[in-house]
Amino acid sequence: TRLESAIETVLGKGIRTGDLMQTDGGKAVSTSEMTDAIISELQASL
């Protein structure tokens, strides 16, 4: 689905909430920032 694709894209950019962070890096963001990133990807796919 488009939602799953948007989530995969955001995760592929290394954006993570604290509970998803790995020791190999990435950018830790708040839940609302993660939501905003996913929404942005969804809007870009329209």
Cβ neighbours of 41 (radius 10 Å): 20
pLDDT, residue 29, reads 95
Q: What is the pLDDT of residues 1-46, one digit of tens each?
A: 999 999 999 999 999 998 888 767 789 999 999 999 999 999 998 8
Stretch (H or E) spanning 3: helix 2-12
pLDDT, residue 23, reads 65
DSSP code, position 19: G
DSSP code, position 25: B
Please, are residues 37 and 29 in contact by the beta-carbon 8 Å criterion? yes
Query: In the chain, how many domains are there?
Result: 1
Question: What residues make up the domain containing 17?
Answer: 2-44
pLDDT, residue 21, reads 86
pLDDT, residue 6, reads 97
- Global pTM reads 0.86
- Nearest-angstrom CA–CA distance, 13 and 26: 8
pLDDT, residue 46, reads 87
- Nearest-angstrom CA–CA distance, 43 and 35: 12
